[in-house]
Structure 1
Amino acid sequence: MAYEYEALIGGSWVGGEERIEVLNPATGERIGSVPSLGPEVAGDVYETAARGAGIWRRTSPLKRMEILFGAARIMRGRLDELARIIVQENGKTLAEARGEVTKSAEFLEYYAGMGRDQLGYLIADARPDTSARAVYEPIGVVLAITPWNDALLTPCRKLAPAFIAGNAVVIKPASDTPLIAIELAKALVEAGMPSEVIQVVTGRGGTVVDALLADSRVAGVSFTGSTEVGLRIQRSLAGSNVRVQTEMGGKNASVVLADADLVLAADTVVAAAFGGAGQRCTATSRVIVESSVREEFLAELNRRVGALVVGNGLSEGVQVGALINPGHRDRVMEAIEDARRAGGEVLVGGDAPGGELAAGCFVRPTVVANLAEDSSAWREEIFGPVIAVRECADLDDALRQVNDSSYGLSAAVFTRSLAAAERFIAEADTGQVSVNLPTSGWDIHHPFGGFKFSGSGYKEQGVEALGFYRRVKTAAVRAV
């Protein structure tokens, strides 16, 4: 089945002569297409979005709540269908895709429930016969630029708090995975959302994104993707008074101390490193092992990594799916070769499978050891099924290596020592910290976001996320 979709522009579904072909990364087969729109659409998009922002701001929070709950019900009712779309355009496994649909619905439901929350609060005023209050208001029109690795979950993580706060949203999905974003918009409109409130612009990056960023009607930009692009967006909007939220890259480390449960550590690291074929910003990509347990831990780790089943995400028993496209597969393979040239030892994997998988974008799960601290494989994000392993002398050395990074998204420590755990939480310079848990897997109500070049000052998820999508107005009234 081919999915031939239109974009939602100006309150209407819009096609176009130029199309973006969507390919299945596991097979190379065409699965559908969307319009390849250019900068000329920006005017209509924002004219409609500005009108939608006015409509939605005047809509009762209880009505917004009803619509978000309705969209979540629609998505849950179509779970298997939506999951198969995700697998076909992204390459992840069917189990992972089902989990993504479910968690995406949970984002809508979680923020929908906030439609019953306070709209502000009363403040004491020292002046006679005067009362004061703070009122929450939407910021207006939000541009959401979303990635291909969680092509439904990330839009829901952004759109749900934006909508419950009363904003209109223009979403620019990744060109590799536009289909599921359009399905999300369909669910929202079917649930009763005015079509002016959600605009979906499909098109290749570059000029269309530049045009969307340049419009004066944009009040906030929420971006998830690479650090390189996120910093470029920050620079382009500097001095414009547009709010910017960037969730960017990571080089997340898991520390295994000598007193750790090594079986638990190996199981957890494997799940965190190779879920989504390692294409997650929170994936474990560095492992720092205390010297005295290095060999024992590596034996546990390598046995598990070598047993992982790679293949088409729709096939039963597959644990690691395809990478997003041939170019990205080639970049991951080149990173592995760079690690070899830098003296790293590939203990497991390190190649692309052949045979019936040769046509797909696959890389075997890979473990590389003995890297120098200044090697690119240790310091730079690979965003694939590759983990690098180094030793540490003790907790002091482990923390030094964890924090010696331009990234600061997530870190984990495996230990039975409460003192070591608490010190790690206090001193790891990352936005997320785990003890005997993966670097990934944060829930919808957990504030989420990284430090340093992994993110901006605005958190996503939880109540904290609302801070980006609304402003506070203070009002005082004297009775006369």
Structure 2
Amino acid sequence: MRTLETLVGGEWVASADWIDVLDPADVRTPVARVPALTAKDVTRAFDHAERGFAVWKRTSPFERARIFTDAARLIRERVEEIAADVTAENGKTLTEATGETLKAADFLEYYAGLARQGYGTLLHDVRPHHRTHTQREPIGVILVISPWNDPLITPARKLAPLLATGNAAVFKPATETPVSGLHFARALHDAGLPAGVLNVVTGRTAEIEEALLDDPRIVGITFTGSNAVGNRIRRRLADRNVRFQGELGGKNASVVLKDADLPAAAKAVVAAAFGQAGQRCTATSRVVVERPVYEEFTRLLVAEVERLKVGPGSDPATTLCPLSSAKQRDSVLADLAGAVEQGATVLTGGHADTEGERAHGCYVQPTVLGDVTPETAIWREEVFGPVLVLRAVAGFDAAVEAVNDSGFGLAAAVFTRDLACAHRFVDEAECGQVAVNSTTTGWDVHLPFGGFHDSGTAYKEQGEEVLRFSTRVKTVAVHFGG
């Protein structure tokens, strides 16, 4: 088991207490341990961030871009080591972990380019002899809280834009998966990021929550996680002038119309539903099928699901990895049991996988449920596991109604050969991400990302849209005589 230090104030620090990091493929032996920082340590991290911001906001954007480009190069050079650690602590397959690692480098490269661009617009002024413009400025010290399901790409998605625009950060990775985020921090540190600009707080949330959330120097919090925690943070910030960017839950639906290419739709839905064992906020979890093709599509879908190979992420043959913890596995199994009690039918899967060496891991068989109605809890509540529910509807209008029958609004997809239906779906689906004949899962770094309704806040991630969160706008008028 490796002992890792965390980055605070430009130095790698240890602690008197440690947190074990477990491999969900076999939870018997920890794969690493990281410092369990205290509330006093958190306050010191904010001290360093405050000082780091004073330096970083005045650092040339060309120097910021150089650091980001060098950090991206280091991540690409270390891709095998980093991907292995992503798999070891999270469980996802090496293919998924490698893709996540390379995408983290993409974020750094994209925002290195964006850092070099000007932030602002020249505006007409009604007054003669005036030249007026806007300029964007960093807002200050931002708290970044990331989840366990994407332990590298989510920190990259959040940290790259806010650091590129001159802010400083205190970063709290998920307690279960801190190693991946430490790799990202190390790449930036090794590339020459000034001390204090990025500080990584590893620790038990319950012990440091007050110090994390209540520090008066926080000007923004970006959080990805459950609605319950996100709403608790939002309430805590209610009387403070602190920006909150939340990427929360989803109950994403894919619609299969009767004219769709059914085999292609089945393959796409399986990829969207069972990648990372369904532990993605954008994963398809509901499938709405036009009734004339319901039976045929169900047969094709179940056959695709049953081709998935359950196993450890480190095995190249694995196509469905374990869930990320025993707690998550047990939560998914409880949701499945509740669905069956409410009348759902298990078409395939539906139970834990404890075969052979998998007995010591967090495995759940990929599951498809039929006979699901709008009244079934699993139709509405996020499961965050390898579970897909099917429902037949009469036609296009009923399909759109079923998609929008949710408190969430993150992602949706439609499979059809009818261009008119495709455009209607894009206009009528109440979601922040809409796909046609493709998966609901997240897309490239330059594309705005975020949901509607209970899936998130108004601040988008990715692309240039994220600048609305990480910068403030100043309007400047210059009178030049006359």
Give the TM-score normalised by the residue count of structure 2.
0.98
Q: Distance in 1 between the 2:460 and 2:449 partners?
A: 5
SS in 2 for 1:464: coil
Q: Secondary structure at the match of 2:95?
A: helix
Pairwise CA distance, 1:164: 1.1
- Which residue of 2 is the match for residue 77 of structure 1? 77
C-alpha separation between the residues in 2 aligned to 1:119 and 1:336?
A: 49
Equivalent positions of 1:260-409 (< 5 A) are: 260-354=260-354, 355-409=356-410
By how many angstroms is 1:210 displaced?
Answer: 2.7
Once residues 135 and 316 of structure 2 are traced to their aligned partners in structure 1, the CA distance between those partners, rounded to angstroms, is: 52
The answer on whether the counterparts of 2:10 and 2:189 sit within 8 Å (CA) in structure 1 is no
Aligned match of 2:7: 8
What secondary structure sits across from 2:465 in the alignment? helix
Note the C-alpha offset of 1:24: 0.3
Partner of 2:226 in structure 1? 226
Is structure 2 residue 456 aligned with structure 1 residue 455? Answer: yes
Q: Give the aligned residue type for 1:395.
A: F
Matched residue type, 1:266: A
Please list the CA deviations of residues 34-75 of structure 1 after superposition, one character each: whole Å capped at 9, or x if unmatched.
111222223211111011111110001111000001100000
Task: Report the counterpart of residue 192 of structure 2 in structure 1.
Answer: 192
Runs (4 or more) in structure 1 with deviation over 4 Å come to none
Equivalent position amino acid for 1:441 in 2: G
Measured in 2, the distance between the counterparts of 1:271 and 1:128 equals: 60
- 1:475 deviates by 1.3
Report the AA paired with residue 125 of structure 2: D
Say whether residues 1:134 and 2:137 are aligned partners.
no
Q: Residue by residue, what CA displacement relative to the aligned partner does 1:311-358 show, whole Å, maximum 9, x if unpaired?
A: 011112100111111111011011111111111100011111222211
Q: Report the CA distance between 1:30 and its aligned residue.
A: 0.8
How far is the alpha carbon of 1:209 from its aligned partner? 2.7
Separation in 2, partners of 1:358, 1:215: 44
Q: Give the Cα separation in 1 of the matches to 2:213 and 2:9.
A: 17
Amino acid at match of 1:290: E
Following the alignment from structure 2 to structure 1, what is the Cα–Cα distance between the partners of residues 8 and 192? 17
For the 8 Å contact 2:230–2:246, the answer to whether it is kept is yes
Q: Distance in 2 between matches of 1:38 and 1:195?
A: 20
Encode CA deviations 1:216-261: one digit per residue, 9 max, x unaligned.
1011100001111111111111121100000001000001011111
Letter in 2 for 1:478: H
Give the distance between the partners of 1:204 and 1:336, measured in 2 at CA. Answer: 29
Count of residue pairs brought into register by the alignment: 479
What displacement does 1:454 show? 0.4
User: Per-residue deviation at 1:376?
Assistant: 1.2
1:255 aligns with 2:255: yes
Runs (5+) with no aligned partner, structure 2:
none
Cross-structure match for 1:91 = 91
1:211 maps to 211
How far is 1:115 from its partner? Answer: 2.1
One-letter code aligned to 2:218 = V
Cα offset, 1:131, TM superposition: 1.7
CA change 1:261–1:472 in 2 (3 A) is same
Residue 358 of structure 1: SS of its match in structure 2? helix
Structure 1 runs not aligned, ≥5 long: none
The 2-side partners of 1:316 and 1:106 are apart by 24
**Alpha carbons 2:20, 2:32 under 8 Å: kept:** yes
Structure 2 counterpart of 1:431 = 432
Aligned residue for 2:360, secondary structure, equals coil
Question: For the residues of structure 2 that align with 1:160 and 1:9, how far apart are their CA atoms?
Answer: 18
Partner Cα separation in structure 2 for residue 43 and residue 82 of structure 1: 29
Residue aligned with 1:86, SS: helix
SS of aligned partner of 1:424? helix
Residue number in structure 1 paired with 2:18? 19
Write the distance in 2 (CA, Å) between the matches of 1:422 and 1:239. 42
Query: How far apart, in 2, do the equivalents of 1:274 and 1:25 lie?
Result: 17
Q: What code does the residue aligned with 2:3 have?
A: E
Aligned AA (1:399): V
Please show how residues 47-126 of structure 1 align to structure 2 within 5 Å.
47-126=47-126
Q: How far apart are the structure 1 equivalents of 2:121 and 2:461?
A: 23
Give the TM-score normalised by the residue count of structure 1: 0.98
Higher mean displacement: 127-136 or 63-72: 127-136
Tell me the amino acid that sits aligned with residue 84 of structure 1.
Answer: A
Separation in 2, partners of 1:143, 1:18: 23
